[in-house]
A and B are shown apart, each in its own frame.
Chain A
């Protein structure tokens, strides 16, 4: 079955450490997204990528970095510069980036806790 796989499901990090969250999709979608979810705040866009080797900052990109070297992969690195990284992170993809009519498909999420 096609879908999005996020790993790890749970991750604990000490302050000052970088961590990388994995996102892999086998849907052959062009566009991929990273959202951060905090209680009562909905989903906020961190980064998105419309095509391989290209990505753009979303609304809360500070302290995060991404890469898009392969169509199916869009890893997110939470750096030590992110002041409050404890959150639930969701990866999503869409068939074509330039049409709002495409539906976002989501992974199951990764919960990052900073100790």
Chain B
């Protein structure tokens, strides 16, 4: 069965510093890949997605992610973090041939120091 691993439960960065959140997946073929963000007590908002083509995808709020097939990874990055980026971030995958079973990672909580 496919699985998604986010190795970091919590990450703390200083405002203005760069950010990388890790995501690894286990699946036999390249799935669709997503990053979502969740503010406390709220629903999830899509940051970006990868379906095919260019392995570096741009999203909202200045985020980007790079798909690396050889490493089965889809890491999220941001060059300069703002205090408003503090939230929980979820990586998710969906198989291409049958899209119902979107599988989420456990999430990474980002704290931003001022």
Binding site for B on A (CB under 8 A): 4, 6, 31, 35, 40-45, 48, 50, 56, 88, 90, 92, 94, 97-104, 106-109, 111
Contact = CB atoms under 8 A, between A and B. Distances in A.
B34 interface: yes
Interface residues of B, number: 28
Contacts of A106: 36, 43-45
A99 B36 CA distance: 18
25 contacts: A6-B43, A35-B104, A40-B9, A41-B106, A42-B90, A42-B107, A43-B90, A45-B102, A48-B100, A56-B100, A88-B41, A90-B43, A98-B100, A100-B31, A100-B32, A100-B96, A100-B102, A103-B49, A104-B34, A106-B36, A106-B44, A108-B41, A109-B41, A109-B42, A109-B43
A48 B31 CA distance: 20
A108 B98 contact: no
A108 B105 contact: no
Contacts of A44: 104
A51 to B, nearest CB: 12
